[in-house]
Structure 1
Amino acid sequence: MEAVVAAQQPVIKVAALCGSLRKASFNRGLIRSAMQLVKDSVKGMEIEYVDIAPLPMLNTDLEVNGTYPPVVEAFRQKILQADCYLFASPEYNYSVSGPLKNAIDWASRPPNVWADKAAAIVSAGGGFGGGRAQYHLRQIGVYLDLHFINKPEFFLNAFQPPAKFDSDGNLIDEQSKERLKAVLLALKAFTLRLQGKGYI
């Protein structure tokens, strides 16, 4: 009976975006850890990392007769086809990074492909762990019709002992992995709720 119920549960498709373009970025490490968690212990989810590095800077001159450059259109389709989003957002000058804002703006061009989807934010950095960037991203989400989970919040001070990441930017702290898992479970539940499906 349990196998039948599990088979009926949909697979939530998550598009994951990292605001840092650096390969060993701690925030990118959070996404890698999230991808491993859905393989190991968070069933019913699939995470695809969506690389924002190839996107040109937003320039409406690149829009011709309602069409976008191929790399932009491919990105927009990935956003459109996802059930929800996971943002890993570093904090640059109290805000989100330029590359992430650029990606958000491209996908918000008509028609806005972010609308009416669930989202979660995680961040790693110094001090507040990227918290100010998260709050700014939530403000942006209001205009985009993105619905962010409220709790649990995930801010991680990456420089406070003990070490949270290895030299390649991989998350190694088990307590932080459990916190990240809680975010994924909340995102899954909220996504199903928005889709009108009560089971988690």
Structure 2
Amino acid sequence: MEAAIRSPAMINVVAVCGSLRKGSYHRGLIRAAMELSKESVNGLNIEYVDISPLPFLNTDLEVGGTYPPAVEAFREKIQQADCYLFASPEYNYSVTGPLKNAIDWASRPPNVWADKAAAIVSAGGGFGGGRSQYHLRQIGVYLDLHFINKPELFVKAFEKPVKFDSDGNLVDTATKEHLKEVLISLKRFTLRLQGKCE
């Protein structure tokens, strides 16, 4: 009797957005990634985790080895994930304050980011948010995160053709296809780090 063929386990992706604005293009990129994971990238389950409830990092809030409830919940989500998708806006050539705050909370002992795969997407002006991506990669060295190298996605949000609608939803077909390639690369790299094959 032949052994049953097992389908690959689902890869759980936590998506974190560095913008708190409801109509953010970065949240639109995450929504598009979630749709793509259901329609055309099998094996990925993307969960958006809101960082807005997190208090400002303050180690006085760490009591008896525990963290505030919102921080504990966030850290648990990060720890349980197989990999991460960062949507990182560029503010002053760097990542946003809210994103850095979330990163720092999850890096408090024990660092729950460590040894996981990650991808970054961004949207913006001339460089499409690219400087924030390169700074986030630098931060990731200390966190022991393993970012995919290719493909990179820097969406030039204000150039034609229109990339996003008035609600921040990604509408450009070519950008969606590029985002799909990012997700496929993230999936493959995650499996590779886990010692599995697709």
- What are the within-5 Å matches in structure 2 for residues 40-119 of structure 1? 40-119=39-118
In structure 2, the residue matched to 1:12 is 11
- What are the within-5 Å matches in structure 2 for residues 169-184 of structure 1? 169-184=168-183
TM-aligned CA deviation for residue 10 of structure 1: 1.1
TM-aligned CA deviation for residue 8 of structure 1: 2.2
In structure 2, the residue matched to 1:29 is 28
How many angstroms apart in 1 are the aligned matches of 2:130 and 2:70? 31
For 2:65, give the aligned amino acid. G
CA offset digits 1:176-199 (Å, max 9, x no partner): 000000000000000000000022
TM-aligned CA deviation for residue 33 of structure 1: 0.1
CA offset digits 1:67-99 (Å, max 9, x no partner): 000110000000000000000000000000000
3-state SS, counterpart of residue 162 of structure 2: coil
In structure 2, the residue matched to 1:166 is 165
Q: Which runs of 4+ in 1 moved over 6 A?
A: none
How many angstroms apart in 2 are the aligned matches of 1:159 and 1:31? 18
**Structure 2 residue ranges without an equivalent (≥5):** none
How many angstroms apart in 1 are the aligned matches of 2:65 and 2:75? 13
**TM-score of the aligned structures, taking structure 2 as reference length:** 0.97
CA offset digits 1:113-160 (Å, max 9, x no partner): 000000000000111000000000000000000000000000010000
Give the share of equivalent positions with the same residue, in percent: 77
For 1:175, give the aligned amino acid. A
In structure 2, the residue matched to 1:148 is 147
3-state SS, counterpart of residue 47 of structure 2: strand
TM-aligned CA deviation for residue 162 of structure 1: 1.2
3-state SS, counterpart of residue 169 of structure 2: coil
In structure 2, the residue matched to 1:129 is 128
RMSD between aligned residues: 0.8
How many angstroms apart in 2 are the aligned matches of 1:195 and 1:182? 20
TM-aligned CA deviation for residue 65 of structure 1: 1.0
Aligned pairs, number: 195
